[in-house]
């Protein structure tokens, strides 16, 4: 073999030149490949390392911001250098009844932006099962009531009673303490934060572009709608049909003068706000995550929809069929108009367990008159908190806390004032403190909690 | 010298081949040297150091651990020096974790994060 190679090398024919060139080019290829591979691997690892450092910096910014909020420093817009030569930039905005803190961590050429939704740490009242704040009536339970956890009432306390044709509630209906208070008050949502959000919505509306045609249809190929502008106004209706969109660092706004339909397996996970003059319908198997739906009319979540955002409406919020709410979903009803014939409220009628915080505010026209209700249907259960500045009508199971002005129960022709029938509340099973919206707090400092955190590489 | 210039014969094929191989070996050595001067660490070291720093950082964040640390960690036969430094400022713990090559003390990665120290109830 060796001999034959030497023979070939001593050969004066030109083919040996081709052989040598081939050997040389193979060697060169191996060499170039090895060099490129090493350098690429190295640059990938350097990039990974820088991204890791930038990610930790952006997380640090969120903690820094929350700590400032806890110290009652609410103007957050600052930048600072860190001990590892990184830079952190922190800013705060209003996001519905929450704060939205954005933190950019920068190291070398890598930038990571983390956005967090910040709510309030639950007050001790939310560690209890039921709190009824209306002191003019005792809190009376009937039927097959079961309450696991403490109950807070006014000085008239809690009793058992009988609704027509039924036996008196068993003495085993309650496991926990009954705390009698002199002046209980239902937590009220922080109007500063909420007004701040509505003002920011208005300012975004003044800077938006109006969509040319009367209605807008978004489908799977409309992902680039926000390329030129962050805010779009639609003159009539908006329909999202099998529409996918994801972006967790910029706020995008859609202002709709008609109604909104999100359907046919649309998947939206974004800091998107949809502000609608008409009703908003979520249908089919759509998945709606992180966004704000704000309807000046009603919001209807139906079919197999999965929702984990913030829904704000003035008339009704209805969750029905097999719709699912996932933590940290928030349903917020701010009733405005007393002249509307039908009662407003939040109606939870889905055949599913809903992870949510429901909040019903006082009627803005007349804060003393209570007619709006949070209604929980028999087949529905809630994990989280139900907070009503008016009435609640609870037929299904609640794993968490109910804080309400008064219970409502009607069996025509009788209206039972501050009665609950077949009430099932279990605070014991929920061993974590769910984050709540920002409340007006009497104490000087409100502890803040991170409800969710999303990262994006810039 | 004059003889060589006037020579009409070039280098033989074997000479060219040997020359090319010598050049490549020399060039490889040069690249390795440059790599050591400018690049400082192998990708394996960077990966392992990042893992050690990250693991230690998340441990501190989730357990709210505020103890400083200075230790040697051996991973796949390579020794690393881990230094964790925590400063408390206004109820905020500022954590710096640096991982260096134990032999030369050259820093491979330095992570920085913060966490709110939970208040005792």
Contact B16 A20 (CB under 8 A): yes
pLDDT in tens, A268-307: 999 999 999 999 999 999 999 999 999 999 999 999 999 9
Cβ contact A367:A390 at 8 Å: no
pLDDT in tens, A340-386: 556 789 999 999 999 999 999 988 766 667 889 999 999 999 999 99
The overall average pLDDT reported for chain B is 84
Give the percent of chain B with pLDDT over 70.
Answer: 83
pLDDT in tens, A404-415: 999 999 888 888
Structure tokens at A398: 């609640």
Residue A138, SS3 per DSSP = coil
| Residue A114 confidence (pLDDT) | 96
Query: Chain A residue closest to B39 (CA)?
Result: A42
| Residue A39 confidence (pLDDT) | 77
When CB atoms are compared, the residue of B20, B28, B54 closest to A24 is: B20
Element (H, E) at A201: helix A191-206
As a whole number of Å, the CA-based R_g of chain A is 30
Element (H, E) at A67: helix A15-70
Positive/negative CA dihedral, B24, B28, B30, B31:
positive
DSSP state of A169: P
| Residue A2 confidence (pLDDT) | 55
Place of tokens 């983390």: A114
For residues B12 and A94, which has the higher predicted lDDT (pLDDT)? A94
Q: Pairing mode, if any, of strands B78-89 and B69-75?
A: antiparallel
Structure tokens at A321: 């069929």
Distance CA A324, CA A320 (A): 9
Q: Pairing mode, if any, of strands A260-263 and A280-282?
A: parallel
Distance CA A59, CA A86 (A): 13
Contact A49 B50 (CB under 8 A): yes
CA distance A352 to chain B (A): 32
Instruction: Write the DSSP string, B12-44.
Output: -HHHHHHHHHHHHHHHHHHHHHHIIIII-S-HH
Structure tokens at A381: 């259960």
Residues A52-64: what's their mean pLDDT? 95
Lowest-pLDDT range of A103-117, A364-378, B9-23, B107-121: B9-23
pLDDT in tens, B52-103: 999 999 999 999 988 999 999 998 889 999 999 999 988 899 999 999 999 8
**Best CA proximity match to A86, nearest among A66, A102, A109:** A109
Cβ contact A303:A284 at 8 Å: yes
| Residue A7 confidence (pLDDT) | 63
Distance CA A55, CA A103 (A): 10
What is the Cα B20 distance to its own chain's centre? 32
Q: How many CA atoms lie within 13 A of A267 on its CB side?
A: 4
pLDDT in tens, B8-46: 666 777 787 788 788 878 877 877 776 665 556 777 888
| Residue A274 confidence (pLDDT) | 96
Give the percent of chain A with pLDDT over 90.
Answer: 60
* pLDDT over 70 at A1, yes or no: no
Q: Is the ipTM of this complex over 0.90?
A: no
Most confident of A52-56, A74-78, A213-217: A52-56
What is the Cα B105 distance to its own chain's centre? 11
What is the dihedral angle through the alpha carbons of A134, A140, A142, A144, rounded to the nearest 10 degrees? 80
Contact A53 B109 (CB under 8 A): yes
| Residue A87 confidence (pLDDT) | 96
Place of tokens 């009319």: A297
Q: How many residues does chain B have?
A: 121
Contacts of B28 in chain A (CB under 8 A): 31
pLDDT in tens, A314-350: 999 999 999 999 999 999 999 986 655 567 899 999 9
Positive/negative CA dihedral, A113, A114, A115, A118:
negative
pLDDT band at A72 (very low <50, low <70, confident <90, very high): confident
Query: Chain B residue closest to A28 (CA)?
Result: B24
| Residue B5 confidence (pLDDT) | 55
């Amino acid at each position: 073999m060796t001999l034959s190679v030497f023979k070939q090398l001593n050969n004066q024919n030109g083919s040996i030149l081709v052989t040598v060139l081939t050997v040389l080019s193979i060697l060169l290829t191996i060499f170039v490949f090895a060099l490129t591979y090493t350098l690429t691997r190295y640059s990938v690892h350097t990039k990974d390392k820088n991204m890791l450092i930038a990610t930790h910096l952006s997380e640090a910014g969120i903690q820094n911001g929350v700590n400032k909020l806890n110290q009652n420093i609410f103007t957050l817009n600052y930048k600072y250098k860190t001990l590892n030569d990184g830079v952190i930039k922190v800013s705060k905005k209003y996001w519905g009844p929450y704060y939205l803190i954005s933190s950019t961590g920068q190291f070398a050429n890598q930038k990571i932006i983390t956005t967090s939704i910040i709510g309030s740490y639950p007050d001790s009242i939310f560690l209890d099962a039921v709190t009824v704040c209306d002191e003019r009536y005792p809190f009376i339970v009937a039927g097959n009531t079961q309450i696991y956890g403490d109950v807070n009432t006014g000085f008239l306390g809690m009793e058992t009673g009988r609704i027509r044709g039924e036996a008196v509630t068993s003495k085993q209906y309650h496991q926990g303490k009954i705390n009698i208070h002199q002046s209980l008050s239902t937590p009220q949502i922080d109007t500063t934060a909420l007004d701040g959000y509505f003002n920011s919505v208005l300012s975004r509306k003044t800077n938006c572009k109006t969509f040319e045609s009367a209605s807008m249809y978004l489908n799977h190929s409309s992902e680039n709608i926000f390329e030129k502008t962050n805010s779009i106004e639609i003159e009539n209706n908006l329909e999202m049909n099998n529409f996918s969109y994801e972006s967790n660092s910029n706020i995008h706004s859609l202002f709709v003068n008609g109604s909104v339909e999100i359907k046919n397996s649309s998947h939206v996970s974004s800091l998107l706000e949809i502000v609608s003059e008409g009703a908003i319908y979520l249908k089919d198997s759509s998945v709606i995550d992180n966004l704000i739906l704000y309807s000046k009319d009603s919001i209807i979540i139906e079919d197999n929809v999965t929702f984990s955002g913030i829904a704000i409406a003035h008339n009704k919020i209805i969750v029905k069929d097999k719709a699912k709410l996932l933590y940290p979903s928030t349903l917020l009803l701010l009733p405005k108009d007393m002249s509307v014939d039908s009662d407003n409220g939040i109606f939870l009628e889905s055949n599913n367990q809903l992870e949510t915080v429901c909040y019903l505010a006082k009627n803005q026209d007349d804060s003393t008159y209570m007619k709006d209700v949070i209604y929980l249907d028999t087949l529905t259960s809630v994990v989280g908190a139900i907070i009503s500045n008016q009435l609640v009508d609870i037929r299904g199971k609640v794993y968490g806390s109910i804080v309400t002005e008064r219970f409502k129960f009607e069996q025509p022709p009788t209206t039972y004032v501050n009665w609950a029938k077949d009430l099932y509340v279990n605070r014991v099973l929920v061993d974590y403190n769910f984050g709540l919206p920002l409340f007006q707090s009497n104490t000087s400092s409100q502890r803040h909690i991170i409800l969710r955190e999303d990262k994006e590489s810039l | 010298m004059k003889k060589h210039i006037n020579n009409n014969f070039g280098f033989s094929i074997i000479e060219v081949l040997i020359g090319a191989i010598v050049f490549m070996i020399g060039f490889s050595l040069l690249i390795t040297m440059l790599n050591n001067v400018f690049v400082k660490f192998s990708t394996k070291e960077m990966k392992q150091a990042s893992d050690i720093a990250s693991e230690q950082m998340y441990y501190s964040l989730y357990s709210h651990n505020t103890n400083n640390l200075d230790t040697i960690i051996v991973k796949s036969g390579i020794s690393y020096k881990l230094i964790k430094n925590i400063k408390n400022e206004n109820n905020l713990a500022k954590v710096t974790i640096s991982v260096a090559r134990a032999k030369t003390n050259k820093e491979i990665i330095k992570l920085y994060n913060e966490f709110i120290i939970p208040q005792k109830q």
